[in-house]
Structure 1
Amino acid sequence: MMQSLENLLGKLSMRKRTPQDIVARLREEIEIAELDTSPEDTKKKAVENASKSISAIRLMLFGDGVAEPVQESIDAFAKMAGEDDLLLLLASHLKIMAFETRKDCVQVFNNLLKRTINDSLTVLDYLSDRDNMELETNLMKGYEATAIALVSGSMLRECLRSEAITKRMLESPLFWKLFALVEASDFDVASDAYATFKEILTRHQAVVASFLEDEYDKFFECYNLLLRSENYVSRRQSLKLLGELLMDRANFKVMTKYIASAENLKLIMNLLLDKGKHIQFEAFHVFKVFVANPNKSQPVLTILTKNKTKLEAYLNNFLTDRQDEQFQEEREAIVEEIKEL
């Protein structure tokens, strides 16, 4: 009873403070908590107060089922997110926050990203390129600490809804770090990094197509290493994503170049022989693009013709127990294509 009363009084006290007061207090408490000369008790208290400030922001943005959010307060937080460093404040100090407070940070951060300022530009539109890059850099650094990796990843993917941020990420060294992160030894970190990797490469198709054309050699040199990975999950996920990228119409030029390569064909044919049936299945969806191409390059045609008999025999018995009518029809069609080589 006493605890409930204290919580209620705490909420009422928070509502009397302005958004500007709360953010200013949050900034002060974070500085105290991260100051090396602060006594441990002082740091602990500062973290608690910072958590209360973040809870207050969440309360003002979402309400609590009793009191509805006030638009004036929402607008004030949006303005501070776009014109000040509120987003960076939330994204850069996750390590000192408790688990529940980190979840509050994600909610507040993602909510503010969707807000507009003066009913026109979004919060992200207001940020300078330098501020945006600092934000993205800090969120990527979150993958270095297991405790905050998933939280940082969630925030980063919300940022990637912006085409401008996706373009900037692709053009920065940050993107290339994801190739190592998707193979991190920590499964949760690797899985979340892959979700970010896929988000970057699939959401804004025109931007990605241009990037892949410009960085074709470097990208596929790195990507083919994922396809050769000893990590089963990495191979499977990368194969599936490759199939999606090649079949995307926006990537037609990239697909044409990829399937003209004899080395790429050899790699995919080896993956057709993988022990894992799921990897065999995903490899087939890339292999069929090589075979169905009416304008095969001479090196690709030579390999397919040379291996015609073996391929036909192998594919006649390839995943025949798979309950997938479309796949079985495609398999039979590819066998016929190979016969006619």
Structure 2
Amino acid sequence: MSFSFFKPSKPKTPPELVKAIRESLLALDSKTVAEVKALEKALEEVEKNFLAMRQMLSGDGEVEPNMDQVSQLTLEICKEDIISLVIHKLPSLGWEARKGLVHCWCILLRQMVGPSHCCVEYLENHLELLDFLVVCYDNKEIALHCGIMLRECIKYPNLAKYILESTSFELFFKYVELPNFDVASDAFATFKQDLLTKHPTAVSEFLTSHYEEFFELYEKLLTSTNYVTRRQSLKLISEFLLESPNSHIMKRYIVEVRYLKVMMTLLKDSSKNIQISAFHIFKGGKVLT
């Protein structure tokens, strides 16, 4: 009697796995999504392939990943446009698949093949994908996963610079005030911890060339009726304006009557924390002028 059916299936090679990932993602078309049973089957296949990708990239807890396979998998993912495909299919994925994708995304972007981060280079050649990730904050089902993916992208100067310069950047001023607290907080984390503080030189250049547009939008956050928005935005502006590369921005900002009035109003805010933060900006600006 043969017991071959008890044997686990042979692990796929990197090219085979990438092919399977691509086929399972493409199966999530409009027809499949409209049929419950077909969708369940397609999502199961995606989850299975993402799990295999995760194990190939990070091991299974007992066996360490084979770095030659990891490099080959990374190259195949770029070659077959899997990065573009997974981003566009994000809204169709289930929670487990999105969770697996985020884990793999962080590893893939950091993975070097030879002297280069080939997944980062892929994104540099397909910058519109970053805009898609930003807009995903409009979809609360996938917003938090996209936030993690965006923050991983922003670690790389060229990708961060693109987002700062893109029209999508203005959307953050809306997202940080979304009614969903978790999504708004995540958007603010991306806005604060990464976009406006991760790369000081790039931020300084951006603020210099987009001074009027940026601070006009930012004024709306500082004067928001939402206490959390006022406090967080004031704390953030005090952090990046007091950075040495931004000293010239601070000098310009604090002497403009329009923005000086905003700070004077915040000095009278009912919150002691807001008063203190406003005082630090006012004091720092006076020292520089």
Post-superposition Cα deviations, 1:153-189, rounded to whole Å, max 9, x if no partner, equal 0000000001001111111101111111111111111
Partner AA of 2:223 in structure 1: R
* 8 Å contact from structure 2 (residues 172, 191) kept in 1: yes
Please tell me whether residue 50 in structure 1 is matched to residue 85 in structure 2.
Answer: no
Partner AA of 2:261 in structure 1: K
Looking at structure 2, the residues matched to 86 and 79 of structure 1 have their Cα atoms a distance apart, in angstroms, of: 10
Please tell me whether residue 92 in structure 1 is matched to residue 113 in structure 2.
Answer: no
Partner AA of 1:239 in structure 2: L
Please tell me whether residue 36 in structure 1 is matched to residue 6 in structure 2.
Answer: no
Partner AA of 1:256 in structure 2: K
Identity level (%)? 37
Alpha carbons of structure 1 residues 290 and 137: separation in structure 2 relative to 1, 3 Å: closer
Please tell me whether residue 168 in structure 1 is matched to residue 162 in structure 2.
Answer: yes
Post-superposition Cα deviations, 1:252-306, rounded to whole Å, max 9, x if no partner, equal 111111111122121111111111222222212112124434x3xxxxxxxxxxx
Partner of 1:17: 12
Partner of 1:204: 199
After TM superposition, the structure 1 = structure 2 runs for residues 84-163 of structure 1, keeping only pairs within 5 Å, are: 84-117=80-113, 119-127=114-122, 129-131=124-126, 133-163=127-157
Q: CA RMSD in A?
A: 1.9
How much has 1:95 moved relative to structure 2?
2.4
Unaligned runs of 5+ in 1: 1-5, 296-341
Aligned pair partner of 1:216 in 211, 216, 234: 211
How much has 1:96 moved relative to structure 2?
2.5
Secondary structure class of the residue paired with 1:121? coil
* 8 Å contact from structure 1 (residues 115, 122) kept in 2: yes
* 8 Å contact from structure 1 (residues 19, 77) kept in 2: yes
After TM superposition, the structure 1 = structure 2 runs for residues 1-341 of structure 1, keeping only pairs within 5 Å, are: 12-13=8-9, 16-36=11-31, 39-117=35-113, 119-127=114-122, 129-131=124-126, 133-198=127-192, 199-293=194-288, 295=289
Partner of 1:312: none
Partner AA of 2:176 in structure 1: V
* 8 Å contact from structure 1 (residues 25, 53) kept in 2: yes
Higher Cα Rg: structure 1 or 2?
1
Looking at structure 1, the residues matched to 260 and 17 of structure 2 have their Cα atoms a distance apart, in angstroms, of: 59
Mean CA deviation greater in 213-222 or 121-130:
121-130
* 8 Å contact from structure 1 (residues 110, 155) kept in 2: yes
Partner of 1:326: none
Q: Bigger relative contact order, structure 1 or 2, given CA contacts below 8 A and separation 6+?
A: 2
Unaligned runs of 5+ in 2: none
TM-score scaled by structure 1?
A: 0.78
Looking at structure 1, the residues matched to 278 and 123 of structure 2 have their Cα atoms a distance apart, in angstroms, of: 43
Post-superposition Cα deviations, 1:59-110, rounded to whole Å, max 9, x if no partner, equal 1111112222111210112113443322223333222222222111111001
How much has 1:130 moved relative to structure 2?
4.2
Alpha carbons of structure 1 residues 30 and 128: separation in structure 2 relative to 1, 3 Å: closer
